[in-house]
Amino acid sequence: MNMRTAALLIVSPLALAAGPSERPAVNPAAKVTGEAVNCIPRSQFRETRIRNDWTIDFMRDSRRGWRNALPHRCPGLRSNNAFGYQTSIPQVCSADIVHVLVNIGGAPSRGAACGLGQFVPIEIPPRK
């Protein structure tokens, strides 16, 4: 095997892992209630809801919060349904990186590292 073939074997799995670049629809849909912001105080949300590999909702209560549309797909985010982050300030910001948490042998390990986007205030309509 020559070096050119080896490089192709290394690149191909990475290209496949990137997946489609089209964003899927987010369910549930949400009503935008204000302007996007770069940071939100950690004390202002009580839970996160991973909607897909592109979207995380930081929820203030059961219906209100901030939707974060990641600038790039975060492989494994939805299927693992867990992420972690570190910040030295009491805010989460669009410049922060989240890490998908992957269960390996019963212990969480860091998976893909993904940048956050802006935080858009939302309200999720009640179910009918």
Cβ neighbours of residue 5 closer than 8 Å, sequence gap 6 or more: none
Q: Taking 60 as the threshold, does the pLDDT of residue 79 lie above it?
A: yes
Residues 6+ positions from 36 with CB-CB distance below 8 Å: 118, 119, 120, 121
pTM for this one?
A: 0.80
Cα of first residue to Cα of last residue in the chain, in angstroms, is 61
φ, ψ of residue 43 to 5 degrees: the values are: -70, -10
Per-residue confidence (pLDDT) for residue 78, from 0 to 100: 96
Asked whether the beta carbons of 59 and 49 are under 8 A apart, the reply is yes
* pLDDT single digits (tens) 7-41: 322 322 333 334 455 788 888 999 999 999 999 99
